[in-house]
Amino acid sequence: MNTQPTLTKEGGTTGNAGDSQQSDGLKAGLKNRHLSMIAIGGVIGAGLFVGSGSGIAAAGPAILLSYALVGAMVVFVMRMLGEMAAARPSSGSFSAYADQALGRWAGFTIGWLYWFFWVVVLAVEATAGAVILESWIPAVPQWAWALIVMVVLTATNLASVSSYGEFEFWFAGIKVVAIAAFVVVGFLAVFGVLPGSDNPGAGFAHLSDAGGFFPMGAGAILTGVLMVVFSFMGSEIVTLAAGESEDPQKAVTKATNSVIWRIGVFYLGSIFVVLTLLPWNDKSIVEKGSYVAALDSIGIPHAGQVMNVIVLTAVLSCLNSGLYTASRMAFSLGQRGDAPKAFAKTNKRGVPTAAILSSVVFGFVAVFFNYQWPDTVFAFLLNSSGAVALFVWLVICVTQLRMRGIILRETPEKLVVKMWLFPYLTWATIAMIVFVLGYMIYDGGSAREQVVLSLLVAALVLAVALVKDRFKKATRDEIDA
């Protein structure tokens, strides 16, 4: 049996099942159970718990179609990413693939934009967690809670990749169990068979008894799309983590194949339960939050505190994964010469210390901006990273169009995960993402601001990439001369 690792174009190795050390310095410290829970929990962000009430208020029961449309888009993007990641597992994931398929400028640009997105998310989630913790223990100020949370999770990531995986296993596990229990209990209450339930058990009547299924018009579906699209960000994390797993190809294949039911159960299932337990225009959905309002309607005691615990878990999970993701992207950029060389160095435990600390430092700075200048500097950071999720998905689609040919030409036996109806469905997904970006500009308000500012930041990073490439080329020409 051949036990030699396979050389990738990025310069690392894909490794084999059971390898504990990767040639790029990272260690295969994530177990299959870690990867499975990262894959499942990656699609459950705090935005699902916190932001769904606003979407319901804006579109009514038709918000289900908004979630279904965005969910389908994410499934297609994940299928494309899974195709590439199963063939070439990499800590840089789509950034490394864009580098190979589209050019150094593409890998550099999307890699740094993605890093920027996640370090801003660190500040958002640290603040959200601090708000909840301060409400429980007001003696400790909010800024101190944010600091404590960041320090603890930084220490977790610095310890080893397995400690990150273990923390994420339990964080994600709590989210998964909570949503699954909510769906089961909710459906029992919907049909009036839950013992002791305070809900009248109206069946599916609430889907149409308050102005019909489209109370705000069919156009509200698109408004709903803009409100829910960013709650799906994070599903691609598993493809970065796969590079540090025992069997990357198997992990990616499994995660890709299961994304449909994960989105169906956790997003569509839970929102469907909320809409069948309560009329969509019930004021408590916005005032308390959709899940708290639904639990209150059933008669679950202390529903608000129960949901705060679950939201805090989701926040900590997002912080933990955000720090991991940002650091691994920085590590990959360092490997390719697109970031300081120190970012590509690992310690004896296989941890990229400099990449983690640099991401944390920017995260701390962003937290400071959030407290010092929330409506100016931090608002700019937030809006200028707002559309990055869509940019990343768009680049994944375009990259897959080129990578399919590269994989077939160089390692056809590794094309174990295939995008459906290639290339037609890939082009359809590209059109869908471009349409959403266009509608955000047309819709105006904060959506337009997010796209415009994100485009400006992307243009700036792209300009740096092009100047860097030109400088390198000029230097090579001088040496050759």
pLDDT tens string 293-322: 999 999 988 888 888 898 889 888 888 888
**7: helix, strand or coil:** strand
Return the exposure string of 48-63: e unless at least 16 CB atoms fall within 10 Å of the residue's CB, then b.
bbbbbbbbbbbbbbbb
Can you give the pLDDT at residue 59?
Answer: 92
Residues 458, 385: Cα–Cα separation, whole Å: 9
Q: Which pLDDT does position 21 carry in this prediction? A: 43
- Residue with tokens 């310095």, as numbered in its chain: 25
pLDDT at 79: 92
Return the minimum-mean-pLDDT range out of 144-148, 284-288, 443-447, 452-456. Answer: 443-447
CA gap 367, 359 in Å, rounded: 12
Q: Which residues contact 164 (CB under 8 A, 6 or more apart)?
A: 156, 157, 320, 324
**3 state SS of 245:** strand
pLDDT at residue 13, as a whole number: 38
Q: Give me Rg for the CA atoms of the chain.
A: 22
The two structure tokens encoding residue 376: 């100016």
Query: Identity (one letter) of the amino acid at 247?
Result: D
Give the lowest-confidence range in 40-44, 132-136, 171-175: 40-44
Task: Tell me the residue type at 207.
Answer: L
Provide mean pLDDT across the span 196-201: 88
**How large is the average pLDDT for residues 103-119?**
93
Tokens in use for 185?
């209990």
Beta carbons of 418 and 82 less than 8 angstroms apart? no
Q: Which class for 115: exposed (0-12), middle (13-18), buried (19 or more C-beta within 10 A)?
A: buried
Between 41 and 429, whose confidence is greater? 429
Question: Do 48 and 59 contact (CB within 8 A), yes or no?
Answer: no
**How many residues are recorded in the chain?**
481
Band of the pLDDT at 464, cuts 50, 70, 90? Answer: very high
Give me the mean pLDDT over the 92-101 stretch: 90
Whether the per-residue pLDDT at 276 is higher than 90: the answer is yes
pLDDT band at 24 (very low <50, low <70, confident <90, very high): low
On the question of pLDDT at 9 being above 60, the answer is: no
Strand partners, 7: 13
Token output for 404: 């399919």
Percentage of the chain lying above the pLDDT 70 cut: 94
d(CA 85, CA 422): 17
Query: What is the per-residue pLDDT for 18?
Result: 35
Q: Is the pLDDT of residue 15 over 60?
A: no
* The pLDDT of residue 94 is above 60: yes
328-362 pLDDT, tens digit each: 999 999 999 999 999 999 888 889 999 999 999 98
Name the band, by pLDDT with cuts 50, 70 and 90, for residue 41: confident
Flag whether pLDDT at 17 surpasses 70: no
Burial class of 478 by CB neighbour count within 10 A (0 to 12, 13 to 18, 19+):
exposed
More confident position, 428 or 202? 428
pLDDT tier for residue 43 given thresholds of 50, 70 and 90: low
CA atoms within 13 Å, Cβ hemisphere of 294: 29
Q: Which residues contact 131 (CB under 8 A, 6 or more apart)?
A: 142
For residues 82 and 259, give the distance between their C-alpha atoms in angstroms, rounded to a whole number. 10
* pLDDT in the model for residue 66: 93
Model confidence at 469, pLDDT cuts 50, 70, 90, reads confident
Query: pLDDT exceeding 90 applies to what percent of the chain?
Result: 43
Give the predicted TM-score (pTM) of the model.
Answer: 0.87
Average model confidence (pLDDT) for the chain?
Answer: 86
Query: Of the ranges 6-15, 154-163, 440-449, which one carries the lowest mean pLDDT score?
Result: 6-15
Taking only the tens place, the pLDDT of each residue in 360-371 is 998 889 888 888
* pLDDT above 70: residue 149: yes
CB 93 within 8 A of CB 86: no
pLDDT at position 91 is 74
